[in-house]
Amino acid sequence: MRVVTFGEVMLRLATPGYLRFNQTDSLTATFGGGEANVAVSLANYGIPVDFVTRLPKNDIAQSCVMDLRKYGVGVDQIVYGGERLGIYFLETGAVSRGSKVIYDRAHSAISEIKSGMIDWDRVFEGVSWFHWTGITPAISQGAADVCLEAIQKANEKGITISCDLNFRKNLWNYGKKAGEVMPALVAGTDVILGNEEDAEMVLGIKPEGVDVTGGHVEAAAYESVSKQIMAKFPRCKKVITTLRGSINANHNSWSGVLWDGKTLFEAPTYQITDIVDRVGGGDSFMAGLIYGLLTYSGDDQKALDFAVAASCLKHTIYGDYNRVTVDEVEKLMGGDASGRVAR
């Protein structure tokens, strides 16, 4: 039951508290990135997991590797080369002011990756699950090529593949649009996660009757989107949609639905009223879903409930990584949201 994730990990530089970029004279340094975030969560849940990327050989990259290793993530399949680790700057929003992200990841080591640099036959030895996101093929043509290479090899080996569509409009700047690149990759994928924007911008599939700006999302509206995705990508066995209602930057409603081709499963809705850090929320959902589908085999409702509860807890934790245990997630699933001191 070994999992592999592939993508870019970055140095995260965030303003303290709710300070704006032009207010602060210091930045808090941590690490993060979609696929690395998923790997850390899975390792916390006791799932053997390897994170695959390309890093430069310097002290900052080595600090990142040590950080991943600290959480139990396998790092032996990382390849080295290139000149720099990507960076992103984060300004945390409050109430009516949204958070802001500025990328500094051009010419990062993974953006200059090429086909053949990773031995996927070796990486996939003893692996049962492979996860990628739409962020990776957005980085560069080379990253998109290697991602496709990985998907094709995983298909050959009968490995289950999951994808978080993760549309990032600011990344698609190397001459290709998401709609030109993503369908070929999604076609080889078994489990697809996204939201209303991802479905439209990445796959050209538009949900009907959905308004996320008012703080309420009607889950049933996503059944038609899920059916369209499965019709377009016959390999797909499950489509999962995260349901985020954004009342303001500090208060979100949070839930999700899962369509298995016959039944639409809906998770409970959580009101997250005092968000600590929402960055990595979708990644924590994906990791919870992978854990649930692997652990609660045949019980899609429980897998979905685990994913939503895990991600709800992530919103209370600073940094990209979700540092929670299975017991903590299952406690929330059981209805205990009291936050009482555990003695």
Rounded Cα distance, 38 and 164, in Å: 11
Tokens of 329: 């997630």
Tokens of 178: 């998401």
Residue 120 lies in a domain: yes
Enclosing domain of residue 7: 2-332
Residue 337 lies in a domain: no
DSSP string, 44-100: HTT--EEEE-EE-SSHHHHHHHHHHHHTT-B-TT-EE-SS---EEEEE--BTTBPPE
Q: Residue 92's closest CA among 245, 214, 250?
A: 250
Rounded to two decimals, the pTM is 0.93
Residue 342 lies in a domain: no
Q: Using the 8-state DSSP alphabet, how is residue 181 labeled? A: H
Number of domains in the chain: 1
CATH number at residue 315: 3.40.1190.20
Q: Quote the radius of gyration of the chain (alpha carbons, Å).
A: 19
Residue 196 lies in a domain: yes
The 3-state DSSP class for residue 31 equals: strand
Residue 343 lies in a domain: no
pLDDT of residue 316: 96
pLDDT of residue 215: 47
Burial class (CB in 10 A: 0-12, 13-18, 19+), 208: exposed
The angle subtended at Cα 112 by Cα 107 and Cα 140, nearest 5°, is: 85
Residue 338 lies in a domain: no
Tokens of 280: 């990595």
Residue 55 lies in a domain: yes
pLDDT of residue 212: 46
Q: CA-CA distances (angstroms) from residue 208 to 97, 212, 217?
A: 28, 12, 11
pLDDT in tens, the chain (343 residues): 899 999 999 999 999 999 999 999 999 999 999 999 999 999 999 999 999 999 999 999 999 999 999 999 999 999 999 999 999 999 999 999 999 999 999 999 999 999 999 999 999 999 999 999 999 999 999 999 999 999 999 999 999 999 999 998 889 999 999 999 999 999 999 999 988 788 888 998 876 655 545 545 565 668 888 999 999 999 999 999 998 889 999 999 999 999 999 999 999 999 999 999 999 999 999 999 999 999 999 999 999 999 999 999 999 999 999 999 999 999 999 987 666 555 5
Residue 98 lies in a domain: yes
